[in-house]
Amino acid sequence: MDAVTYPEDRVVEFIVQNVIPLRIPFNDPLATEFNVKWTPTLVTLDPQGKEHHRTVGFLNAEELIASLLLGIGKTRFETEKFQDAIASLDKIVTSYPKSGFAPEAIFLRGVAQFKSTHDPKPLRALYEKLVAEYPGSEWTGRAYPYRLIG
């Protein structure tokens, strides 16, 4: 990704504005600590060093940004900052709808909406959106029970 993805202006701008990047050599003890077995491996951590998201392998610019946004969204979701999570996940859905990360973003956005309001309607809505736009996604299958919500 050094030669293709990382140098792209939009990638550089996103990273500078949104994350603190840290490159670890493959033989570094942190690579062992975080169970890095292949490169590139991108790990999204919270400020306490807890992992919330991981991708392995080459990503083009759009997929890289969507993956980083998902990592940010998952970190916010898992630390119960639901409105911030929704904002990050919305960026994937609106700016990168063809990304392989979009279905998971839709799923988590709906769950975050439910958890922040206790209204089950977003769960049904996420299922309907996934069925309409990503019928073959594993996330559509995971949302299948939500079809029963009235």
Q: What is the pLDDT of residues 7-17, one digit of tens each?
A: 889 999 999 99
pLDDT at residue 3, rounded to an integer? 75
Which pLDDT value is given to residue 141?
A: 98
Position 83 pLDDT exceeds 80: yes
SS3 state of residue 34: coil
pTM above 0.85, yes or no: yes
Residue 47 has pLDDT above 80, yes or no: yes
What pLDDT is stored for residue 1 in this prediction?
63
pLDDT at 5: 86
The predicted model gives 86-102 an average pLDDT of 98
- Cis check: omega of the bond before 25, within 30 degrees of 0: no
pLDDT digit string, tens, across residues 116-143: 999 999 999 999 999 999 999 999 999 9
d(C-alpha 135, C-alpha 90), whole Å: 19
What's the mean pLDDT in 100-119?
Answer: 98
Tokens of 45: 């951590």
CATH entry, 9-148, from 3.40.1280.10, 2.40.30.10, 3.40.47.10, 1.25.40.10: 1.25.40.10
Task: Give the pLDDT score at 98.
Answer: 97
Higher pLDDT, 94 or 4: 94
Query: How many residues are listed for the chain in this entry?
Result: 150
Helices first, then strands: H and E counts in the chain: 7, 2
